[in-house]
């Protein structure tokens, strides 16, 4: 088993005796951009001193900026079914919760997609509960066809990531053939006793099968995978080391680790109470583990959803987060029904701002909101993406595309204030680009977009 519980517990036990010098030595190592080992990560997890924490955040922010620059990718979830046969204690979809279950028809999927596209989204994360009868792999494949075949006057969804239950190699091959982006699956918790306790009488309650889902996905050719745990189920320090061991396992066996890591915290949901969970992660620990993760896996995207408040997401963008959701709804058919009635959401959201409101804040803070999906569409996935990121060349690919997709958004959806803010940012960013050929590409993109010739570039 590549999640070595005994080793994790031993590392955390020893790290409790870490001295100020020990912590500073690890921070020095990170500052030199040297790879951290499990012991280093465990030591950082014990950090409490404010000056050391400030240094941690500073280094994490510098690393993020070196790799990702000031680009922030935006996306939205699309929940297509809340049928579920599992009894996950923490989840609003669990089978013992009595509400009218729903799955979208293909016409309803297309309506949801049109609403999301009208918000400006080009990248979705398809989400569904686990029910082999009511939400089979064939249904998911049909949903993907509906998503990719639906368009508005201003375009269509260019990338659909998929977050569905662990499945077989053959089913992952089918997803790959449909042109999915990243396959997303949260382990929920790497602590096996907690995993078994939390999942009760469920087909999901097979720790090893769930844990090895990415192995099967990689074997099937899906080389972009997105991981995460639900922080609050078990000791968060254990979870961070579990994530690192899982990432190392994939790198050793398939040559590439996680494309993204998500950081959901346990939130109130129907049929559960937070009082039953002694490992809830407070804001202090949450900020620390995001920054430590950025040091530990510097080239991995970090996702922060609307589970978190706008204030928390704004702060974490400074030292770790590179992707955020915007305008999210976690109800099945929720985008259409948002103002029409009650949805059974999977969990409570904290950031209810519209995409335009979020873009205005991002631009005010100096970020380039990006709707780019070019790497996926051009085959820059898996180790090909990572080789660009590790060589430092990803800026030359991503910055022009980020600026182009921002301009596209401004033309299609921007209000007067956003257009003025966005155009000013684009002009400043073009002026900062040193390579003449890249600058010409960006400038030509802007001219083409202003003439409506976006298909030449997007």
Average pLDDT over residues 130-142: 97
- The structure tokens listed for 305 are 């959803």
Residue-level pLDDT at 106: 98
The token pair at 383 is 């180790």
Task: Please answer whether residues 112 and 79 qualify as being in contact, where contact means their C-beta atoms are separated by less than 8 angstroms.
Answer: no
Q: Give residue limits of the domains in the chain.
A: 5-65, 70-371, 391-456
70-371 belongs to CATH 1.10.357.10: no
Which CB contacts under 8 angstroms, 24+ apart, belong to 163-168? Answer: 163/77, 163/125, 163/126, 163/127, 163/128, 163/226, 164/126, 164/127, 164/128, 164/130, 164/140, 165/130, 165/204, 166/204, 166/209, 166/210, 166/213, 166/216, 167/137, 167/213, 167/216, 168/216
Query: Would you say residue 24 has pLDDT above 80?
Result: yes
At 344, is the pLDDT very low, low, confident or very high (cuts 50, 70, 90)? very low
Q: How many other β-carbons are positioned within 10 Å of the β-carbon of residue 141?
A: 17
Token match 């949903």: residue? 143
Q: Per-residue pLDDT for 391 more than 50?
A: yes
Distance between CA atoms of residues 49 and 56, nearest Å:
10
Whether the predicted pLDDT of 375 surpasses 80: no
The reported pLDDT for the residue numbered 208 is: 97
- Cβ 238 vs Cβ 8: under 8 Å: yes
pLDDT at 425 over 60: yes
Q: How many CB atoms lie within 10 A of CB 374?
A: 19
Distance CA 372, CA 377 (A): 10
Q: Which residue has the higher pLDDT, 434 or 180?
A: 180
Q: How far is CA 12 from CA 16, 47, 141, 181, 261, in A?
A: 7, 12, 43, 35, 22
Length of the chain: 458
Buried b (16+ CB within 10 A) or exposed e, 122-135: bbbbbbbbbbeebb
pLDDT at residue 134 above 50? yes
Instruction: Give me the residue label for tokens 């910055």.
Output: 399
pLDDT higher than threshold 70 for residue 430: yes
Strands 301-304 and 159-163 turn out to be unpaired
Mean pLDDT of 134-148: 97
- pLDDT for position 218: 97
CA distance 26 to 34: 9
Helix, strand, coil share (%) of the chain residues, nearest 5: 50, 10, 40
**Which residue in 189, 159, 257 sits closest to 217, CA to CA?**
257
Tokens of 284: 């202090």
- Over residues 243-295, the pLDDT tens digits come to 999 999 999 999 999 999 999 999 888 888 999 999 999 999 999 999 999 99
pLDDT at 448: 63
What H or E segment, with its residue span, contains residue 38?
Answer: helix 38-45
């Amino acid at each position: 088993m590549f999640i070595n519980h005994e080793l994790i517990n031993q590392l955390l036990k020893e790290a409790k005796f870490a001295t100020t010098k020990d912590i500073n030595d690890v921070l020095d190592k990170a500052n030199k951009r040297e790879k951290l080992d499990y012991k280093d990560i465990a030591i950082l997890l014990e950090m409490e001193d404010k000056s050391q924490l400030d240094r941690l955040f500073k280094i994490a922010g510098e690393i993020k900026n070196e790799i990702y620059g000031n680009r922030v990718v935006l996306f939205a979830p699309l929940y297509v079914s809340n049928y579920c046969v599992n009894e996950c204690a923490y989840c609003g979809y669990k089978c013992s919760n009595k509400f009218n279950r729903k799955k979208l028809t293909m016409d309803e999927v297309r309506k949801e997609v049109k609403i999301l596209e009208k918000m400006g989204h080009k990248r979705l994360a398809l989400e569904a509960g686990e029910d082999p009868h009511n939400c089979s792999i064939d249904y998911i494949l049909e949903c993907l066809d509906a998503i990719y075949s639906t368009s508005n006057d201003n375009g269509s969804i260019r990338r659909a990531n998929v977050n569905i239950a662990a499945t077989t190699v053959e089913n992952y091959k089918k997803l790959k053939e449909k042109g999915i982006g990243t396959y997303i699956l949260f382990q929920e918790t790497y602590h096996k006793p907690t995993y078994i306790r939390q999942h009760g009488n469920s087909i999901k309650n097979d720790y090893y099968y769930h844990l090895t889902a990415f192995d099967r996905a990689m074997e099937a050719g899906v080389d972009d995978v997105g991981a995460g745990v639900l922080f609050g189920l078990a000791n968060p320090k254990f979870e961070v080391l579990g994530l690192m061991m899982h990432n190392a396992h994939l790198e050793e066996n398939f040559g590439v680790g996680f494309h993204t890591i998500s950081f959901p915290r346990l939130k109130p949901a129907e049929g559960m109470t937070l009082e039953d969970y002694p490992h809830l992660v407070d804001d202090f620990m949450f900020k620390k583990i995001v920054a430590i993760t950025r040091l530990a896996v510097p080239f991995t995207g970090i996702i922060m959803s609307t589970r978190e408040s706008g204030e928390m997401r704004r702060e974490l963008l400074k030292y770790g987060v590179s992707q955020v959701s915007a305008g999210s709804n976690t109800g099945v058919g929720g985008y259409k029904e948002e103002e029409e009635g009650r949805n059974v959401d999977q969990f409570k959201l904290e950031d209810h701002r519209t995409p335009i409101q979020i873009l205005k804040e991002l631009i005010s803070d100096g970020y380039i909101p990006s709707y780019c999906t070019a790497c996926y569409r051009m085959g820059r996935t898996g180790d090909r993406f990572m080789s660009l990121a590790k060589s430092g060349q990803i800026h030359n690919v991503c910055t022009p595309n980020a600026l182009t997709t921002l301009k596209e958004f401004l033309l299609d959806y921007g209000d007067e204030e956003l257009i003025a803010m966005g155009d000013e940012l684009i002009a400043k960013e073009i002026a900062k680009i040193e390579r003449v050929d890249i600058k010409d590409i960006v400038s030509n993109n802007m001219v083409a977009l202003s003439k409506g010739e976006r298909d030449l570039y997007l």
